[in-house]
Structure 1
């Protein structure tokens, strides 16, 4: 089923129109099975769905007549008060000539309380409209059962596993250690004369007769069953469970979680990467909120399938197939399980992942992505991220034997860090630990020194990370020490890592030396302290709230360098000043720091050309006498005027706090 919004006469220009004017019509369309409304619904967050549902219940004038789709597609520029908005664009702009792109927006400001609106995305769902000259593609499966707990669904899962094990060369190229297995496993069968159950086994005292699988799950806020020193002996005897693979590894049940002062956890976390790398397959409880929820789900199968629609384009009627352009992102990348920081390395290192999603099961291995509705693999035209997630895995890259300079692998690391920092950790202190297995694998490929989430070879570039988004309040620094301030690992929140570059001529800084103090002998693990010595040209800085700003976004700050106002207005409609200042954590003001000359900055990189960007590290003095600083942010400016101001030599530069001053450059220490 599709709503009437599709029966427009499409022209060559982008068109925007109201879609649903009320929560009532939107939710009614979802319940009636409209394909695009259901795809938009599943793209909403859980709290957004709850608000929409509660508003529907409270609408006093709600009636069956009010929920019809007759209000859809009204051409108007007044979309501010609509619940959802539609936009049509030529597909050629997205690499799909001859197609059209339909985007649906969720107008959070018209639905949610004001305090919930900031940071919400506007455009949520995208659909590709492909002209059909024959029947729909044959790679779409027949009608699915109404539950993923069905023989048909499990048959599809088994066929993926068997195909991968028999035919996929990359998936079967063994990258682990022959014969390796975890310290403990759950033995889940086979069963003969007893009810389905399993027991904890110690693998050094038993001979395994098959491979093992792993389970990724959300711990949630409820107290689920965990292995402790108190129940250890009992779980060695039996754990009542439904039918599972014979050997299964679950972190909560195969690592002691309480009773031994973390001794077992600290030992097992060092081999966590091997657990997943050597497994046969990872089972992902993608939609289960906690251990009390099932892997399986009920669904309305009719809302899952791409639909066909008659469209009139420039006066010519044609049949088009409407399919979710962001299918994989919606079903897998944004699943609750993949918001967990620990799960990123579980998903990346496992050779195969079977996702039990909210609406269907999905398959992900080193050679194939598939879903129940696309059992033979995703259609080519369905957009995924710039690279398949599995292509970011360390085994996908082959290091250069001569130099170890593998730029593809470095770029993959940048994408991994960006995805990882967007995830959540129940314990912020796990920031480096939960990424350590991938870091170890990548270190072997890059043949480089790992430096608290970054790499020594291109460290000057990697120091130029920034927090994501427009709002500096989106990131914060933890209460407990975790990393030096110059690493992205020192902040909680999503970051934009800096890409390494072959060209080093535009660098204005040099890392002279560094030292890190680790909690263990593992340099991908917990850090107790550290510093680096950086050479560059210091500038004295003041940061002043921009006079027209009343929020804490990146454009809030005017920069004064060596007493001169260097910020200039941009040409945007907001006219905010640039350089744009991205603070690592929220600051209301810097009056106290400005008064005691505690802020400095250091131009770090400049791109060629008058319009090329300049990147500036923002620092705060920690020890005036010894020239010790902490990083507090990054600024980016552009244009000849701005660059000349930052690159001019400081008249009183010899008086700035530093270890050494020579030829206009300062040697400082950043902690």
Structure 2
């Protein structure tokens, strides 16, 4: 698919069609696509009247572009010719145009689209695999994934296949191993995604044993999620301050076929870091319907509230919290990184035991805070938990430096 769409001369899109039974052409009113010019009584300047939302209505919000498979096809194609309901639209990696604006759609209309110059940077970079280019490419990849996860896909098991061609093309710029949608060279930001802001599409994922579910991807991969996602705020440069709280010891993915950009049937990451024990619980509030975001966290095995961490954000990877209500979970601080408006944030993974072997977990959410006091308190909880665990002279568990080696599946 990567070769077909990226080497094609032009992709012709029936963008106004509701399904495959409809064609390219529509009855149109030519006057609707013409620019209207006028002058006001107060000045002699020419003013233009046009539909500022035409691109959004006819291209970005069409049934066609809402499909996950089309997301990849559109991004890979060098040129797309959209047959809309009222006019033709054109896009390539350098230019966007329409019948209303044949020389180029104004930025105010087109605004910012990922189809524009960023994909050109990712696919056509002459500095392939250099560190700065890999960093920029990874950030563009995260934007592509966010766009892709807003799209609809009929079979969730096709998710990695439906973006595999794009991943294959991007691999030349980003470099390194591709692990079920996440790049090994940029693993930390890749596993710190969180549920997006569209409650109507919240995943109904359940924490049943993995063998009873239709496996799509390891829990740390965004591909295992069934709704929109967000990644941490983008950094301006790869060297911009990140304080890492763990070591990545090993990564592994089991491929379903001999194609790193296709389906997977298993995988894990092996990490060494500090962890804290906690409990998720549902507050008893009568007369209201709670979502997973209303669940609160008590710290330590004795279930203590910490005021400094009471205003933190916890994004869970599912809506049905029955499986972990009043159950022990673990917090794994991952890194401190720049956030919006010259601030910073710490992101920690929320982990739930697999119940197959000790120190084996699945990701069930991400925990975010942004104050020094909150960070000191969480790291203190990590120290307390470590002191309560015996040193295990084995591959996993507490090590002699007080940190823990764990696997996340």
Tell me, yes or no, whether TM beats 0.5: yes
Q: TM-score range by the shorter chain?
A: 0.7 to 0.9
The 8 Å contact of residues 326 and 384 in structure 1, kept in 2 or not, is answered as no
- Residue in 2 that maps onto 1:273: 2
Superposition deviation, residue 424 in structure 1: 0.9
Query: Structure 2 residue aligned with 1:328, among 55, 76, 81?
Result: 55
Q: What are the superposed Cα offsets for residues 119-177 of structure 1, whole Å, 9 maximum, x if unpaired?
A: xxxxxxxxxxxxxxxxxxxxxxxxxxxxxxxxxxxxxxxxxxxxxxxxxxxxxxxxxxx
CA contact (8 A) 1:541 1:559 kept: yes
Q: 1:487 aligns with which of 221, 233, 245?
A: 221
| Contact 2:175–2:185 (8 Å) recurs in 1 | no
Contact 1:475 1:584 in 2 (8 A): yes
Tell me whether 1:371 sits opposite 2:89 in the alignment.
no
Maintained 8 Å contact 1:404/1:448? no
The aligned residue for residue 350 of structure 1 is 77
Question: Cα–Cα, structure 1 residues 401 and 446, in superposed 2: closer, same or farther, change >3 Å?
Answer: closer
State how 1:228-627 maps to structure 2 within 5 Å.
Answer: 272-305=1-34, 320-385=47-112, 387-389=114-116, 391-393=118-120, 394-400=122-128, 403=131, 405-469=133-197, 471=199, 474-477=202-205, 479-498=213-232, 499=234, 501-503=238-240, 505-546=242-283, 550-553=288-291, 555-562=293-300, 563-566=303-306, 578-589=311-322, 593-595=325-327, 597=328, 599-607=329-337, 612-623=344-355, 625-627=357-359
Shift of 1:398: 3.0
The answer (yes or no) to whether the contact 2:255–2:265 under 8 Å persists in 1 is yes
C-alpha change, 1:497 and 1:652, in structure 2 (3 Å) is closer
Q: 1:589 to 1:655 in 2, by over 3 A?
A: same
Q: Which of 632-641 and 413-422 deviates more?
A: 632-641
**Greater Cα radius of gyration, structure 1 or 2:** 1
In the TM superposition, residue 583 of structure 1 has moved relative to its aligned partner by: 0.9
Please, which runs of 5 or more residues in structure 1 have no aligned partner?
A: 1-271, 570-576
User: Is the CA contact (8 Å cut-off) linking 1:273 and 1:349 kept in structure 2?
Assistant: yes
Q: CA 1:323 to 1:512, structure 2 compared with 1: closer, same or farther past 3 Å? A: farther
Relative distance call for 1:293 and 1:467 in structure 2 (3 A) is same
- Is this contact kept in 2: 1:472–1:552, CA < 8 A? no
The separation in 2 between residues aligned to 1:302 and 1:568, in whole angstroms, is 61
Give the secondary-structure state (helix, strand or coil) at the position aligned to 1:668. Answer: strand
> Aligned Cα RMSD in Å?
3.2
- 2: distance between equivalents of 1:317 and 1:581? 56
Separation in 2, partners of 1:617, 1:456: 17
Q: Which has the higher contact order (CA 8 A, sep 6+)?
A: 2
Counterpart CA distance in 1 for 2:164 and 2:102 is 34
User: Is the CA contact (8 Å cut-off) linking 2:347 and 2:367 kept in structure 1?
Assistant: yes
For 1:16-55, list aligned pairs within 5 A: none
SS in 2 for 1:294: coil
* Structure 2 equivalent of residue 632 of structure 1: 364
Q: CA deviation at 1:303?
A: 4.3
The answer (yes or no) to whether the contact 1:476–1:491 under 8 Å persists in 2 is no
Mapped contact 1:619–1:631 kept (Cα < 8 A) = yes
Question: Residue 472 of structure 1 contacts residue 585 of structure 1 at CA under 8 Å; is this kept in 2?
Answer: no
The separation in 2 between residues aligned to 1:483 and 1:643, in whole angstroms, is: 31
Count of residue pairs brought into register by the alignment: 388
Q: Which residue of 1 aligns with 2:406?
A: 668
Cα pair distance change 1:509/1:299, threshold 3 Å: farther
Q: Which moved more, 1:408-417 or 1:397-406?
A: 397-406
Runs of 5+ consecutive residues of structure 2 not aligned to the other structure: 207-212
Counterpart Cα distance in 1 of 2:198 and 2:291: 5
Matched position secondary structure for 2:363: strand
Q: State the 1:502 CA deviation.
A: 2.8
Q: TM-score, normalization: structure 1?
A: 0.53
Conserved in 2, the CA contact under 8 Å of 1:510 and 1:536? yes
8 Å Cα contact 1:473-1:552 kept in structure 2: no
Aligned equivalents of 1:602, 1:360: Cα separation in 2 = 52
Pair 613,548 (structure 1): closer, same or farther in 2 beyond 3 Å: farther
Deviation at 1:310, TM superposition (A): 8.0
Inter-partner Cα distance in structure 1 for 2:272 and 2:241: 15
Q: 1:535 to 1:473 in 2, by over 3 A?
A: farther
Please give the secondary structure, in 2, of the residue aligned with 1:565.
coil
Residue 14 of structure 2 contacts residue 82 of structure 2 at CA under 8 Å; is this kept in 1?
yes
Q: 1:543 to 1:536 in 2, by over 3 A?
A: same
C-alpha distance in structure 1 between counterparts of 2:201 and 2:110, whole Å: 31
CA contact (8 A) 2:204 2:318 kept: yes
Q: Distance in 2 between matches of 1:445 and 1:496?
A: 22
Matched residues in 2 for 1:486 and 1:420: separation? 17
Choose 646-655 or 352-361, whichever is displaced more: 646-655
User: 1:350: Cα distance to partner?
Assistant: 1.6
In the superposition, the TM-score normalised over structure 2's length comes to: 0.84
Paired residues of 1:462 and 1:497 also in contact (CA < 8 A)? yes
